[in-house]
């Protein structure tokens, strides 16, 4: 749309991103541009040591990855699957997976080991957080249970959610939604979704694509806009940058900047709306 930083005269504190389950599965994360331009720092967690080492080998100076199992702080079985990206603290639900094309073989468990999980709140390297991303294959609620302090400071949570029980006894979208709403967040949008076709059908040329059945997605939650007035001005400015640059949520960004204008007297809220309307008159 346009460079939001061209409208901001005040210094913008560095945005802190925490990435739980940071394995590279292809494709660029939506917050990568903030890292590339030096406006953010990232602390990531990837328990598969080889994958964590590779992430650190390619990481820029403002990115760091730790090989820890993030959860509720308890010792847990960790189910290592044929496709490492689907390994989880929860056992894959083979009976349900068998209904779909190209899913059960990749999520078949090769071995199970006992691991000690670590609460996100107990990680010394983490202080204030602005954006929390979690992709841990069914264990997102465990991450949240160990992160009340982090979730108090985080402005946005992006997490993988499941709509059907891909893993045995793992929380589903409704459980995640209820927990985050209780913590003061509201659902904002989905960043992509995925599924598979029911057997025996498959889409010609697209064996890993679904038809109508959604299985999982990345859900984005934002601190409730009804309570933006309770956020410090510094946090409002960082929230606006994330909404504009990462999620292209220009209307909600405008709400955050209008509240920032009320708190500080800087006319950035109105200037942002004017630029927005000039760039896209249809938005009026």
pLDDT in tens, 147-161: 999 999 999 999 999
Instruction: Give the tokens for residue 128.
Output: 């204030």
The beta-strand segments (E) located in the chain are 15-20, 40-45, 63-66, 75-81, 109-116, 131-134, 156-162, 185-194, 216-223
DSSP code at position 191? E
Chain CA centroid to CA 276, Å: 26
Q: Cis peptide before 200, with omega less than 30 degrees from 0?
A: yes
What was the pLDDT predicted at 9?
82
Question: Would you place residue 283 in the very low, low, confident or very high pLDDT band (cuts 50, 70, 90)?
Answer: low
pLDDT mean over 175-203: 96
pLDDT mean over 17-46: 89
What was the pLDDT predicted at 275?
93
Give residue for tokens 């802190």: 16
Nearest Cα residue to 127 out of 107, 145, 153 = 153
Question: Would you place residue 281 in the very low, low, confident or very high pLDDT band (cuts 50, 70, 90)?
Answer: low
Question: Would you place residue 90 in the very low, low, confident or very high pLDDT band (cuts 50, 70, 90)?
Answer: very high
Question: Would you place residue 280 in the very low, low, confident or very high pLDDT band (cuts 50, 70, 90)?
Answer: confident
What was the pLDDT predicted at 284?
55
Q: What is the pTM of this model?
A: 0.95
Ranges of each domain in the chain: 4-231
pLDDT mean over 136-147: 96
| Residue range 4-231 in CATH 3.40.1350 | no
Chain CA centroid to CA 224, Å: 17
């Amino acid at each position: 749309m346009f460079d939001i930083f061209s409208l901001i005269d005040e210094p913008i504190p560095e945005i802190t991103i925490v990435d739980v389950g940071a394995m590279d599965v292809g494709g660029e994360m939506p917050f990568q541009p903030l890292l590339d331009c030096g406006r953010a720092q990232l602390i990531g967690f990837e328990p598969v040591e080889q994958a964590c080492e590779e992430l650190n080998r390619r990481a820029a100076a403002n990115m760091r990855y730790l090989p820890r199992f993030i959860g509720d702080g308890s010792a847990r079985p960790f189910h290592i699957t044929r496709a490492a990206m689907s390994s989880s603290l929860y056992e894959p639900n083979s009976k349900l997976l068998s209904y779909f094309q190209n899913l059960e073989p990749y999520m078949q468990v090769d071995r199970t080991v006992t691991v000690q999980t670590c609460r996100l709140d107990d990680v010394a390297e983490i202080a204030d957080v602005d954006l929390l991303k979690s992709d841990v294959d069914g264990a997102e609620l465990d991450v949240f249970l160990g992160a009340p302090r982090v979730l108090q400071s985080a402005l946005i949570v992006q997490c993988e959610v499941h709509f059907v029980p891909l893993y045995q006894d793992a929380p589903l979208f409704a459980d995640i939604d209820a927990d985050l709403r209780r913590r003061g967040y509201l659902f904002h949008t989905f960043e992509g979704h995925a599924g598979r076709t029911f057997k025996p059908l498959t889409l010609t040329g697209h064996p890993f694509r679904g038809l109508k059945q959604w299985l999982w997605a990345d859900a984005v939650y934002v601190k409730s806009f009804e309570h933006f007035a309770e956020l410090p001005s510094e946090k409002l400015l960082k929230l606006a940058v994330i909404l504009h640059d990462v999620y292209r949520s220009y209307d909600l960004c405008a709400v955050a900047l209008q509240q920032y204008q009320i708190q500080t007297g800087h006319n950035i809220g109105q200037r942002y709306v004017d630029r927005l309307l000039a760039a896209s008159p249809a938005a009026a």
